[in-house]
Amino acid sequence: MSHDVRTPPIVSLGAGGIAGAIEAASTYPFEFAKTRVQLREQKGQPTPKNPFRVVAQVYTNEGLRALYKGCSTLVIGSVGKDGIRFLSFDTIKNYFKDPETGTLTPLRNLGAGMMSGVVASITCVTPTERIKTALIDDARNERRYRSMIHCIRTVVKEHGVIGLYHGFAGTTLKQAGATAFRMGTYNILKDYERKHDIPQSTLTNFANGSVAGIVTTLTTQPFDTIKTRCQSSRGATTVEAFRSVIADYGVRGFWKGTTMRLGRTVFSGGILFTSYEWAAALLNPLVVPKEEPLRG
């Protein structure tokens, strides 16, 4: 994601969508475990804190398919989310760049990421997260939903289209913060490496993405926890979700699922940005004339 060459919008959109699909599908069991932990515990069935134990427990009791309940929704959502996120980030950051150096300050990197996160939340993240969370919650309780489409139809029938936006405030806060720290941290690291002539490679991209994932998780976990409570199968308002977390666990409850989310974001951050750089390198020659340099 070099700043000296402007990436064509179609490349940002396509590469972001490809990267989002790869990242979501490859790390979904960790997302499943994290969501299970954040939802309210069933009486007499405390949820383990170790993500591997959660995955093993679900696999043993419910089978492999259960671990991927809601996965298709997340993959579809990630194609749109990350496509829009990379497109909007690349577009917004061009307006934030220093006209002389072509680079962004750390604060401007974070600002561009925050704005692109809001755009992504409004356009596709909130509805897809709502359906994914409802499917995961429903699978351990009532099992009302037969499929993703049936879940969407049921939610709309019972709550109207607004039902797809339960948890909008928490999701948008999470997306604004997560995209700011994830995209911002990644680009800050890339700028630092360019300045000190550190060669770029798959390993460098993966390491940068992993660091960005860790920073993102630790700073935005409370919003993620509230968002999950709001988007349970029955839904809840942001205030109700906030109060239920306090009632169940106290302030520490807002970081419920941090270990599981870290288990995912360390890998997902690396996979996302490595996949993006790879996809952008493949798509650029199809869009940019040969005499123009490719994104670094």
- pLDDT tens by residue, 137-189: 887 777 888 888 999 999 999 999 999 998 888 889 888 988 899 998 998 99
Residues of the chain above pLDDT 90, percent: 28
Which 3 state secondary structure label does DSSP give 138? helix
Single out the residue of 277, 283, 273, 272 nearest to residue 26, CA to CA: 272
Does residue 230 have a pLDDT over 80? yes
Give 209 or 34, the one with higher predicted confidence: 209
Mean pLDDT of the chain: 84
AA identity, residue 214:
I
Distance (Å, rounded) from C-alpha 246 to C-alpha 3?
43
Single out the residue of 274, 273, 276, 280 nearest to residue 294, CA to CA: 280
Distance (Å, rounded) from C-alpha 185 to C-alpha 218?
13
User: What is the Cα gyration radius of the chain?
Assistant: 19
DSSP codes, 149-206 = HHHHHHHHHHH-GGGGGTTHHHHHHHHHHHHHHHHHHHHHHHHHHHHTTPPP-HHHHH
pLDDT score for 255: 87
Give 83 or 139, the one with higher predicted confidence: 83
- Look up tokens 């005499």; give the residue: 291
Mean pLDDT (whole number) for 237-243: 87
pLDDT tens-digit readout, 177-226? 888 999 989 989 988 898 889 988 999 999 999 999 999 988 888 888 88
Give 48 or 153, the one with higher predicted confidence: 153
Domain locations in the chain as residue ranges: 9-287
CATH number for the region 9-287 comes to 1.50.40.10
Mean pLDDT (whole number) for 27-46: 72
Residue 137 structure tokens:
């919650």
Residue 230 structure tokens:
């709001």
What is the phi/psi pair of residue 291, to 5°? Answer: -75, -15
Contacts of 158 by beta carbon, 8 Å cutoff, 6+ apart: none
Residue 239 structure tokens:
């205030």
pLDDT score for 45: 61
Distance (Å, rounded) from C-alpha 165 to C-alpha 53?
31
pLDDT score for 289: 58
